[in-house]
A and B are shown apart, each in its own frame.
Chain A
Amino acid sequence: MQFNRLMLLLHKEFLLEFRQRYALSGIVLYVLSMIFVVYIASIKVRPEVWNILFWLIVLFASINAVVKSFVQESGGRQLYYYQLTDPASLILAKILYNTLLLLVLSILAFGVYALVAGNPVKDLPLFTLVLGLGSLGFSIAFTFISAIAARANHSATLMAILSFPVILPILLTLMRLSAIALRLIQDTSYRKDIVNLLAIDAILVTLSFVLFPYIWKD
């Protein structure tokens, strides 16, 4: 794995996204529609419900944003990458790109949701940190699972059933941290939760490196 190669692959991801702008617009529109549906369905959103609904919106938006990362590239192109690069750079580039994509998406979702349903966040720095951690965790888990799901026939269904149980520890920790940022619960030892989250991320990213070559080769 070389840094140059990683940067090139990352650049390729951005280029790909830029050339297929409809996909990105689609995801943004998906987030916006979901926020409005949620808002119209429950006009008055209490902070507890706000927290839960926000993370559900981010969860579904993320899964839809990430699922295409391997599906969109045909078998022929995968073969082409196979000759050019190594699996570790490829998965790392995808994870990094998806982290940035999800970060942008979740900040956008937060902005619009706060505008529409009110902003109960009391500790904005912590909440921003939670958004960042969430993007990282979702990106690692979903990118890897989407690589598995892309190999199967019914990838969308498979993506959901494979990733929801795996994402749950991350999601629960995120919801708890964001509840702290909303001052819904008092907990001064939330740093431990952040460490837990980073530990889970570290385990999953290590496994992604180790296991990705087995998914990749056909």
Chain B
Amino acid sequence: MWWKSLSVVLIVYTILAGLLPPLKPGITRVAPESAHSGQVIRLQAYGYNSKYTGSDAKDIRFWLEYDSLHALAAQELRVLSDTCLEAVFTLPVRMPGTGQNAYLNAIIDHPKDGVSLLPGALELVQGDSAERVGADWGIGLVQDLHIIKDFTFPYRNVIYESIRNTYFHVPMWFALMFLFVASVINSVRYLRNGELEYDRRAAAYAETGLLFGVLGLVTGMLWANYAWGKPWSNDIKQLMTAVALLVYFAYFILRASFDEPEKGARLAAVYNVFAFASLVPLLYIIPRMFASLHPGATGNPAFGSQDLDNTMRLVFYPAILGWSLLGFWIAGLRIRYQRLEDKVLQIEV
């Protein structure tokens, strides 16, 4: 069937296009990490995937940004290596706003690499104004940035290369949801006309959904181990997902606990519909009420649109489709296997 080939193509594409392209150049850290106002500092910025030697030092621009208006430009800029840049900054005596300290963003604009940003790179502490070196905040300096359009993924601090897990972890939940919806639809159809075929389908979709749920949890735990420091942090979404999987384990126990298959099938179908209705608050309402480590946690547990750039979309949407089709393929095999087994066991086909 064409959609099975499509799922293979899409998954191969997901694996290749998700793992091979490099990340955009980024800044991992600057040294020193804090300074007093009114100082002259020599700042080194360490890059990731960057090619600073690729163009002249005079074409590279380096700013420390206070807010969208106030920034400082680097004075003497030297390229030490592909991944190291040194610049001198004269820090003004006063902060533009109130407050005793501020975190400045480091922004490097490179003609070939494009622009990269490290939020909160340098902590600026209000020093005693004994040494008064004159310098003022520049207004509206950060402009004419080089935006490079190529097939690279965004560089994000904390998650770095693990951003590629987006194409594996998130589609699992999409596939799970599609499969569970298919399972409920088949349960409803079974209740309406009582043909065992629909019960087989409902069970197979639920089984495959459960498989994707486990895979989603495992890929999530791998990611959490890297980004949050430990695989399980009792995040509300982790807990709710675990409970959602319990619902479907209960469904299989219920289905198996009857001597007459038809009675079990009917009650399991009823429970499937009932449990699915409770799955919606479990996955979509409750996580909104509690704090979560997941992106876009407060107010919106879904994937925020700002978390994806256009390159990621090119891999992410095919990945969802590919994994979901694979899920339906597995479920289809399961249905056919069950049909044969029932035929052998002389259960009504």
Contact = CB atoms under 8 A, between A and B. Distances in A.
Interface of A: 141, 144-145, 148, 151-154, 158, 161-162, 164-166, 168-169, 172-173, 176, 193, 196, 200, 203-204, 207-208, 211, 214-215, 218
Contacts of A173: 286, 289
A208 B270 CA distance: 9
A211 B273 contact: yes
Contacts of A214: 191, 266, 269-270
Contact of B257 (A144, A158, A200): A158
A169 B191 contact: no
Contacts of A154: 257
B286 A162 contact: no
Given A165-B244, A165-B246, A204-B277, A211 B257 contact: no
B217 to A, nearest CB: 15
A19 to B, nearest CB: 29
Nearest to A212: B270
Interface stretch (B73-81, B169-177, B247-255): B247-255
Interface in B274-307: 274-275, 277-278, 280-282, 285-286, 289
Q: Which of B191, B270, B271, B282 gathers most chain A CB within 10 Å?
A: B270
Given A162-B250, A200-B285, 16 more contacts: A148-B267, A148-B270, A148-B271, A151-B263, A154-B257, A161-B246, A162-B271, A164-B246, A165-B275, A166-B278, A168-B282, A169-B285, A176-B289, A200-B278, A200-B281, A207-B277
B243 interface: yes
A145 to B, nearest CB: 8
B151 interface: no
A2 B249 CA distance: 38
Contact of B267 (A151, A153, A166, A168): A151
Interface string B189-231: 0010000000000000000000000000000000000000000
A207 to B, nearest CB: 5
Q: How large is the interface on B (under 10, 10 to 19, 20 to 34, 35 or more residues)?
A: 20 to 34
Contact of B274 (A152, A168, A211, A218): A211
Contacts of A152: 254, 257-258, 267
Question: Could you tell me the dominant secondary structure of chain A's interface residues?
Answer: helix
A218 B16 CA distance: 54
A10 B42 CA distance: 83
A176 B275 CA distance: 22
A153 B253 CA distance: 12
A200 B281 CA distance: 7
Contacts of A208: 274
23 contacts: A141-B278, A145-B274, A148-B254, A152-B254, A153-B257, A158-B253, A161-B249, A162-B254, A165-B282, A166-B247, A166-B274, A168-B243, A168-B282, A196-B281, A196-B289, A200-B278, A200-B281, A203-B280, A204-B277, A204-B278, A207-B277, A211-B273, A218-B263
Contacts of B271: 145, 148, 162
B205 to A, nearest CB: 18
B277 A165 contact: no
B267 A169 contact: no
Nearest to B244: A165
A168 B247 CA distance: 11
Contacts of B281: 169, 196, 200
A196 B285 contact: yes
B243 A165 contact: yes
A144 B278 CA distance: 13
A165 B248 CA distance: 9
Given A152-B257, A161-B250, A193-B289, A215 B270 contact: yes
Contacts of B275: 165-166
Most buried by B among A145, A166, A204, A218: A166
Contacts of A204: 274, 277-278
A165 B250 CA distance: 9
Nearest to B258: A152
Contacts of B243: 165, 168
Nearest to B285: A196
A169 B253 CA distance: 22
A168 B258 CA distance: 26
A169 B280 CA distance: 9
B257 A165 contact: no
A215 B267 contact: yes
A148 B258 CA distance: 11
Contacts of B258: 151-153
A87 B282 CA distance: 28
Nearest to B259: A153
Contacts of B269: 214
A104 B320 CA distance: 50
A218 B266 CA distance: 10
Contacts of A144: 274
Contacts of B286: 168-169, 172-173
Nearest to A211: B270
Nearest to B190: A214
Nearest to A208: B274
Contacts of B257: 152-154, 158
